[in-house]
Structure 1
């Protein structure tokens, strides 16, 4: 094994250990963790804001931890929901790691939190390699991104517990073929549920929240064919 492979394995193994510990600690506190992955511009932030607001209306204590390379725009948008929100600026790093999540949750996460949504950096490559201690990994894609995107990014879609199709109100104008899209999803992740959503109309908001709550309460989770880091991509150590 070459030195770079050894480093890769060591970094990912350390992350996996921290993620497992974080998952166990948060589960013991009754907190369900959701890791949201998507490309930039998928509508992830807008949909998450609607889910947070709906959770508040239903009396479910939720919080959101969001990461971006720069600006706190997403945190400001999510805060309109009334939920506690914390922003991490990665200063160019294209993904989150378990130690960053743990470090920034300490002393901040409200004690009554039932669900924590982690909005990962907009990227379908690097974030797919890192377990963040989540109980549920959701991969989102907009209809404007093309039906074959799951086949182009098999690591992300192949490690998803749930897939959410966003901006469905644009499916007609975009000429989007949902049947073809579903076939591409099935090729990389057979049996995974696909939820249609539209933040503008509210479609799918309650469904997403219901699925997340069910997992938090112990419902069976779909088993994806890929582990969180099948391609072994790592970066240099980052600051927390």
Structure 2
């Protein structure tokens, strides 16, 4: 299990201190509560954000080169908590894990509960606990890959921390970004979290078996996604019942590069 806490930038432009794994405190400017006035986009804060993201992007580029050189496909799976990422991965690994020669890097703030579910199906998994951190970053992925030691030509699923904000800002060097939303969350998530959906190579609407019981307009969700990202693929499925999984498995079989060279869109699958 890898543990790491780190400074990170929030979507509203502020940041705050964290204790690093080495135990050193690094104070940074941060937002205050009611009664305090501050400028969110203070020059020093902007510089900190730029430096942090630039360092991450450099490490991500190195990860991407390392993965490409070994023919390893890394899929960054992101969602809000409870959307069904782990259930989808458990079912996928049960049915395709051996053929994909797949392993998992599991990101959570605390516990190894999801990693334990992955391990139970017999696939290798590395747990990264981020503490107060709300996302994985490129350095965490590098250390996770070192520990996982995936074979040439294999597939690595990266289950990011449950969050539709911060993970969209941090490139990991992955081959593709997969965003999972559930019908129980409502169909307005693309317009509420546009950065995440702009970054997506594939959007999966999960828990389709609950569509008769909730207010979720699949066509409206797709319309919002298309306004943000015309290249994103779109699938509706149920990881619990298996409905629509054939489209997901087909995407996995063909998605070996980023979205600009991915195979024919699977939009009609819904």
Same-fold call, TM cutoff 0.5 = yes
Following superposition, the deviation at residue 192 of structure 1 comes to 1.8
Q: Spell out the pairing of 1:62-77 with structure 2 (5 A cutoff).
A: 62-77=102-117
Count of residue pairs brought into register by the alignment: 221
Distance 1:28 1:176, change over 3 A: same
SS in 1 for 2:127: strand
Matched, 1:7 2:48: yes
Per the alignment, residue 27 of structure 2 pairs with none
Matching residue of 2:255: 215
Choose the corresponding residue for 1:118, options 147, 158, 173.
Answer: 158
Over the residues paired in the alignment, what is the CA RMSD in angstroms? 1.8
Contact 1:37 1:120 in 2 (8 A): yes
Q: Is the Cα contact below 8 Å between 1:34 and 1:212 reproduced in 2? A: no
Q: How does 1:161-172 map to 2 (within 5 A)?
A: 161-172=201-212
Matches within 5 A, 1:189-208: 189-208=229-248
Measured after TM superposition, the shift of residue 213 of structure 1 is: 3.4
Give yes or no for the alignment of 1:140 onto 2:180. yes
Partner in structure 1 of residue 136 of structure 2: 96
Q: What is the CA–CA distance in structure 2 between the aligned matches of 1:64 and 1:204, rounded to whole Å?
A: 22
Task: After superposing the two structures, state which structure 1 stretch, 60-69 or 108-117, moved more.
Answer: 108-117
Of the structure 1 ranges 34-43 and 45-54, higher mean CA displacement relative to structure 2 is found in 45-54
Unaligned runs of 5+ in 1: 223-240
Q: TM-score, normalised by structure 2?
A: 0.77
Larger radius of gyration: 2
Contact 1:71 1:89 (C-alpha < 8 Å) held by counterparts: yes
In structure 2, which of residues 95, 108, 112 is the aligned counterpart of residue 54 of structure 1? 95
Asked whether the equivalents of residues 78 and 167 of structure 2 are also in contact (C-alpha less than 8 Å), the reply is yes
The CA deviation string for residues 1-47 of structure 1, in whole angstroms up to 9 with x for no partner, is 81211111111111111111111111111100100110001011100
- Give the CA deviation at 1:81: 2.4
Does the CA-based 8 Å contact 1:54-1:205 persist in structure 2?
no
Cα–Cα, structure 1 residues 206 and 87, in superposed 2: closer, same or farther, change >3 Å? Answer: farther
